[in-house]
């Protein structure tokens, strides 16, 4: 039986028991009221008999008063008959006490007869002696009726007390026992389910409930499981979303800060050669006016150098922007081609400074990467080796080594240049950082460009620098899954 | 004063040269020191006694033209360290003029936090008369 059905049965039994108890109480109260009416009937009959005795001793007949007394007597049987319902009649018939009802009817008929005699007397159709005789008979009938009424009513009340009270007690006990049983079955179901769920926390709830719990409890638990799962998923989703938003906010904040810093430094460094050029132009004007053409010429050369600086800076800023936007077209690369291309670009400087170049490249294994990024990395590292050579050394040197082992390419670019000051190695890959202001020929963006490309290719770069030179080691995995074009 | 002593702190050699020429055009008697970085400038100013003896009557400089963006120790780093140097030596007659390409209000505001920073000059936006006024005001 379903829990809701069991609970409904408990409610029905309780209502039934209470109704029966209340009905019994009303029935007993009705029996008591019948006794009261019978006593009242006897009282009015006594008053009526007393009045007849006074009339027999000579008192004048007062028909109205006599009619009022008879009417008072008539009220009690009428009230009794009105209070009796079908159930009462059935019970009384069953226990054979229904003669009380016949007595009531007879009493009403006797009263009506007395009232009729009084009416005939008032109309002059009945003599005083006839009236008194009829009233005397009625008074005697009223007494007889009262006596005849009392016994069956007493027996009826007794019957009710002896049967209904034990019945009420019995029904109550039965009810209590049924309710206790139903409650216990509900409690056991709940306890059993709780114990079952507590036993094995690893199996899914639905699997655990299978064959063990049924009906509404199972429906409740299944609905709860669905709801808990949904809540958990929502909470998990919210946590993920919050984390995502926090990460993105942090990333955007960092990007924003970097962009602001970049804009500031870029605008500063772009403006600086222009400001210098403006000053130098003024000085050229003064020098020409003073006739100092030699100084004017020197200043014109200085302007050219400032323009070179500006040009380099613009080129590097564009390269840095391209590093972000570059199409990562992965191709099979040949490092010897890349290095040759870079060397060709710097051939004039290398020859002029008498730099010794050592190249050791093994292109024996197929290696795939974004060529344009690798070219810029090699170009910037070689450029730095050329720019920041140590003029105190008789022979500047740069070596480039490329090896591929199990899809991991390792590029080493080593020079015997000025090295990077030990206290500034943490700033190595930051934008607009120049470590040798006394040379100051770079834009300060070269290694930032290198780092950007390295990050975009998910590669790694390490730097080892001292007073005897600098060595950069790039480790890059051959791309296997994102080849867009094969060359 | 017969001679005005000035220190230019700037990593850009051309900017130092242009400023020096403009200062000379004021026609005032000048002694001009140059330093390529904040770090070198602090070193010069920290050797207070030795430089007073070496440059008798010309040290300490009354006016310091200070660039902000420098590679080793930038203008802000210099100002913080100069604050310490000032607590050790008598630089009460030395004032700083920020000399930079930047005209950002926040840079001006940052400079104003130091009471010995008395002016802000944007490179390429000054003339000889302005320089003369600055020197005479510092003297």
Chain B partners within 8 Å of A434 (Cβ): 71
Task: Determine, for residues B14 and A274 on separate chains, whether the beta-carbon distance falls below 8 Å.
Answer: no
The answer, for B20 touching chain A at a CB cutoff of 8 Å, is no
- Whole-number pLDDT of residue A485: 42
Chain B partners within 8 Å of A272 (Cβ): 12, 15, 69, 101, 123
Helix residue spans in A57-98 (DSSP H): 63-83, 86-94
Q: Are residues A25 and A135 in the same domain?
A: yes
User: Distance, in angstroms, between A268 CA and closest chain B CA?
Assistant: 6
Q: Domain for residue A14, yes or no?
A: yes
Look over chain B and give the mean of its residue pLDDT values, rounded to a whole number.
92
- Whole-number pLDDT of residue A483: 43
Chain A partners within 8 Å of B19 (Cβ): 279
pLDDT (mean) for B49-66:
93
CATH number for the domain that contains residue A320: 1.10.287
Please give the Cα distance from B36 to B23 (Å, whole number).
18
- Whole-number pLDDT of residue B51: 94
Chain B partners within 8 Å of A305 (Cβ): 14
Residues A29-55: b if buried by 16+ CB within 10 A, e if exposed: ebbeebeebbebbbebbeebbebbeeb
State pLDDT tens for residues B59-102: 999 999 999 988 789 999 999 999 999 999 999 999 999 999 88
Q: Are residues A249 and A127 in the same domain?
A: no
Task: Determine, for residues B123 and A268 on separate chains, whether the beta-carbon distance falls below 8 Å.
Answer: no
At residue A133's C-alpha, the angle toward residues A47 and A122, to 5°, is 80
Chain A partners within 8 Å of B102 (Cβ): 264, 268, 271
- Whole-number pLDDT of residue A486: 37
SS in 3 state form for A215-258? HHHHHHHHHHHHHHHHHHHHHHHHHHHHHHHHHHHHHHHHHHHH
- Nearest Cα to Cα of residue A14 among A181, A185, A171: A171
Chain B interface, best mutation among A268, A284, A299, by max B CB count within 10 A: A268
Domains and CATH numbers, chain B: 4-138 (3.40.50.2300)
- Whole-number pLDDT of residue A119: 94
Chain B interface, best mutation among A276, A286, A422, A440, by max B CB count within 10 A: A276
Q: Are residues A310 and A399 in the same domain?
A: no
- Whole-number pLDDT of residue A175: 86
Look over chain A and give the mean of its residue pLDDT values, rounded to a whole number.
87
ipTM of the complex: 0.88
Chain B partners within 8 Å of A309 (Cβ): none
Q: Domain for residue A179, yes or no?
A: yes
Give bridge partners of residue A369 from the DSSP assignment. A331
Q: Domain for residue A8, yes or no?
A: yes
**Which chain B residue has the Cα nearest residue A304?**
B14
3-state secondary structure of A370: strand
Q: In Å, what is the CA distance from A208 to each residue of A185, A186, A211, A219, A229?
A: 21, 20, 8, 14, 16
A283-289 contact pairs (CB < 8 A, 24+)? A283/B18, A283/B21, A283/B22, A286/B21, A286/B25
Task: Determine, for residues A279 and B101 on separate chains, whether the beta-carbon distance falls below 8 Å.
Answer: no
Burial of B16 (0-12, 13-18, 19+ CB in 10 A): buried
Overall residue count recorded for chain A in this entry: 487
**Which chain A residue has the Cα nearest residue B68?**
A268
Q: Are residues A160 and A236 in the same domain?
A: no
User: Distance, in angstroms, between B45 CA and closest chain A CA?
Assistant: 21
For the four alpha carbons of A179, A180, A184 and A185, in that order, the dihedral sign comes to negative
Domain count, chain A: 3
Strands B63-66 and A460-466: unpaired
A149 Cβ partners below 8 Å, 6+ apart? A34, A38, A41, A80, A100, A103, A104, A107
- Whole-number pLDDT of residue A10: 85
Q: Are residues A437 and A484 in the same domain?
A: yes
Chain B interface, best mutation among A437, A439, A447, by max B CB count within 10 A: A437
Q: Are residues A278 and A426 in the same domain?
A: no
Chain A partners within 8 Å of B125 (Cβ): 275
Please give the Cα distance from B33 to A340 (Å, whole number).
47
Q: Domain for residue A466, yes or no?
A: yes
The answer, for B71 touching chain A at a CB cutoff of 8 Å, is yes
At residue B64's C-alpha, the angle toward residues B94 and A281, to 5°, is 150
3-state secondary structure of A355: coil
Q: Domain for residue A200, yes or no?
A: no
User: Distance, in angstroms, between A351 CA and closest chain B CA?
Assistant: 28
The answer, for B21 touching chain A at a CB cutoff of 8 Å, is yes
For the four alpha carbons of A7, A10, A12 and A14, in that order, the dihedral sign comes to negative
Chain A partners within 8 Å of B70 (Cβ): 437
- Whole-number pLDDT of residue B104: 84
Strands A460-466 and A469-477: antiparallel
Please give the Cα distance from A375 to A336 (Å, whole number).
11
Please give the Cα distance from A177 to A182 (Å, whole number).
9
Q: Are residues A312 and A341 in the same domain?
A: no
* Global pTM value: 0.55
Q: Domain for residue A452, yes or no?
A: yes
Give bridge partners of residue B98 from the DSSP assignment. B66, B120
State pLDDT tens for residues A303-343: 998 898 888 888 888 887 777 776 777 888 899 999 999 99
Please give the Cα distance from A264 to B106 (Å, whole number).
12
Please give the Cα distance from A106 to A162 (Å, whole number).
29
User: Distance, in angstroms, between A311 CA and closest chain B CA?
Assistant: 17
Between A306, A421, A437, which is nearest B14 by CB?
A306
State pLDDT tens for residues A182-222: 888 888 888 888 887 777 667 777 777 777 777 777 788 88
Task: Determine, for residues B36 and A437 on separate chains, whether the beta-carbon distance falls below 8 Å.
Answer: yes
User: Distance, in angstroms, between B93 CA and closest chain A CA?
Assistant: 29
Task: Determine, for residues B12 and A276 on separate chains, whether the beta-carbon distance falls below 8 Å.
Answer: yes
Q: Domain for residue A201, yes or no?
A: no
Burial of A409 (0-12, 13-18, 19+ CB in 10 A): buried
> Residue A262's domain spans which residues?
214-325
Chain B partners within 8 Å of A435 (Cβ): 71
The parts of chain A modelled with pLDDT lower than 70 are 200-201, 326, 437, 439-441, 480-487
Task: Determine, for residues B37 and A274 on separate chains, whether the beta-carbon distance falls below 8 Å.
Answer: no
Q: Are residues A11 and A147 in the same domain?
A: yes
Task: Determine, for residues B17 and A433 on separate chains, whether the beta-carbon distance falls below 8 Å.
Answer: no
Q: Domain for residue A148, yes or no?
A: yes
Q: By the 8 A CB rule, do A38 and A251 touch?
A: no
Task: Determine, for residues B11 and A278 on separate chains, whether the beta-carbon distance falls below 8 Å.
Answer: no
The answer, for B72 touching chain A at a CB cutoff of 8 Å, is yes
Q: Are residues A418 and A367 in the same domain?
A: yes
Q: Are residues A289 and A230 in the same domain?
A: yes
At residue A66's C-alpha, the angle toward residues A65 and A68, to 5°, is 65
If one counts every other C-beta atom within 10 angstroms of the C-beta of residue A243, the result is 10
Give bridge partners of residue B127 from the DSSP assignment. none
Q: By the 8 A CB rule, do B60 and B23 touch?
A: no
**Cis peptide bond upstream of A355, omega within 30:** no
- Nearest Cα to Cα of residue A471 among A426, A423, A412: A412
Please give the Cα distance from B134 to B114 (Å, whole number).
17
Task: Determine, for residues A302 and B17 on separate chains, whether the beta-carbon distance falls below 8 Å.
Answer: yes
A273 Cβ partners below 8 Å, 6+ apart? A306, A307, A309, A310, A313
A455-459 contact pairs (CB < 8 A, 24+)? A456/A323, A456/A324, A456/A326, A456/A328, A456/A370, A456/A373, A457/A328, A457/A369, A457/A370, A457/A373
One DSSP character per residue, A324-335 reads HH----EEE--H
**Which chain B residue has the Cα nearest residue A302?**
B14
Please give the Cα distance from A142 to A157 (Å, whole number).
22
Burial of B94 (0-12, 13-18, 19+ CB in 10 A): buried
Chain A interface, best mutation among B10, B11, B12, by max A CB count within 10 A: B12
Chain B partners within 8 Å of A286 (Cβ): 21, 25
Q: Are residues A98 and A23 in the same domain?
A: yes
- Whole-number pLDDT of residue A456: 87
Please give the Cα distance from B54 to A381 (Å, whole number).
44
Q: How many Cβ contacts (< 8 angstroms) between chains A and B?
A: 64
Q: By the 8 A CB rule, do B8 and B21 touch?
A: no
CATH number for the domain that contains residue A387: 3.30.565.10
Q: Which of A304, A325, A346 is the last residue of a domain?
A: A325
Between A272, A278, A283, which is nearest B12 by CB?
A272
- Backbone φ and ψ of A54, nearest 5°: -65, -40
Q: Are residues A78 and A177 in the same domain?
A: yes
Q: Which of A266, A297, A325 is the last residue of a domain?
A: A325
């Amino acid at each position: 039986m379903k829990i809701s059905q069991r609970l409904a049965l408990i409610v029905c039994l309780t209502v039934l028991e209470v109704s029966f108890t209340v009905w019994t109480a009303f029935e007993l109260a009705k029996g008591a009221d019948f006794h009261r009416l019978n006593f009242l009937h006897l009282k009015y009959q006594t008053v009526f008999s007393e009045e007849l005795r006074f009339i027999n001793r000579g008192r004048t007949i007062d028909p109205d008063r006599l009619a009022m007394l008879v009417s008072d007597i008539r009220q009690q049987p009428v009230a009794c008959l009105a209070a009796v319902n079908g159930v009462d009649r059935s019970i009384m018939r069953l226990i054979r006490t229904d003669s009380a009802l016949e007595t009531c009817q007879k009493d009403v008929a006797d009263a009506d007869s007395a009232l009729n005699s009084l009416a005939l007397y008032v109309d002059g159709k009945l003599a005083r002696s006839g009236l008194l005789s009829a009233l005397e008979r009625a008074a005697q009938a009223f007494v007889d009726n009262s006596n005849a009424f009392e016994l069956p009513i007493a027996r009826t009340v007794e019957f009710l007390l002896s049967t209904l009270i034990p019945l009420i007690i019995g029904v109550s006990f039965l009810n209590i026992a049924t309710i206790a049983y139903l409650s216990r079955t509900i409690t056991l179901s709940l306890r059993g389910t709780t114990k079952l769920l507590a036993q094995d926390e690893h199996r899914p709830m639905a699997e655990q409930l299978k064959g063990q719990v049924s009906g509404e409890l199972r429906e409740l638990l299944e609905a709860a499981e669905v709801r808990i799962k949904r809540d958990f998923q929502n909470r998990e989703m919210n946590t993920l979303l919050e984390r995502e938003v926090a990460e993105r906010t942090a990333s955007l904040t960092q990007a924003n800060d970097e962009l602001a810093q970049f804009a500031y430094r870029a605008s500063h460094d772009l403006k600086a050669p222009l400001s210098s050029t403006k000053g130098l132009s003024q000085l050229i004007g003064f020098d020409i006016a003073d006739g100092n053409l030699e100084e004017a010429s020197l200043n014109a050369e200085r302007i050219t150098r400032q323009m070179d600086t500006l040009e380099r800076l613009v080129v590097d800023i564009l390269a840095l922007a391209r590093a972000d936007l570059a199409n990562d077209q992965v191709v099979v690369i040949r490092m010897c081609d890349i290095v040759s291309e870079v060397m060709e670009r710097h051939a004039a400087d290398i020859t002029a400074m008498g730099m010794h170049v050592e190249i050791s490249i093994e292109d024996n294994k197929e290696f795939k990467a974004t060529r344009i990024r690798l070219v810029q990395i090699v170009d910037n590292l070689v450029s730095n080796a050329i720019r920041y050579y140590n003029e105190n050394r008789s022979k500047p040197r740069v070596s480039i080594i490329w090896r591929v082992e199990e899809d991991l390419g390792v590029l080493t670019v080593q020079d015997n240049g000025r090295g990077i000051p030990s206290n500034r190695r943490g700033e190595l890959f930051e934008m607009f950082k120049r470590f040798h202001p006394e040379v100051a020929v770079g834009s300060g963006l070269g290694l930032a460009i290198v780092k950007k490309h390295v990050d975009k290719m998910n590669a790694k770069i390490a730097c080892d620098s001292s007073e005897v030179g600098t060595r950069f080691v790039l480790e890059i995995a051959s791309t296997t899954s994102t080849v867009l074009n094969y060359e | 004063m017969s001679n005005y002593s000035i220190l230019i702190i700037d990593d850009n050699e051309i900017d130092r040269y242009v400023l020096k020429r403009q200062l000379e055009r004021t026609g005032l008697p000048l002694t001009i020191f140059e330093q390529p970085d904040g770090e070198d400038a602090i070193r010069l100013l920290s050797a207070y006694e030795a430089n007073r003896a070496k440059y008798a009557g010309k040290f300490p400089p009354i006016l310091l033209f200070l660039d902000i963006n420098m590679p080793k120790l930038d203008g802000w780093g210099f100002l913080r360290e100069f604050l310490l140097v000032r607590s050790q030596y008598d630089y009460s007659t030395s004032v700083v003029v920020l000399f930079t390409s930047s005209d950002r209000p926040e840079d001006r505001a940052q400079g104003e936090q130091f009471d010995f920073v008395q002016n802000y000059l944007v490179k390429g936006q000054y003339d000889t008369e302005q320089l003369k006024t600055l020197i005479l005001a510092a003297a």
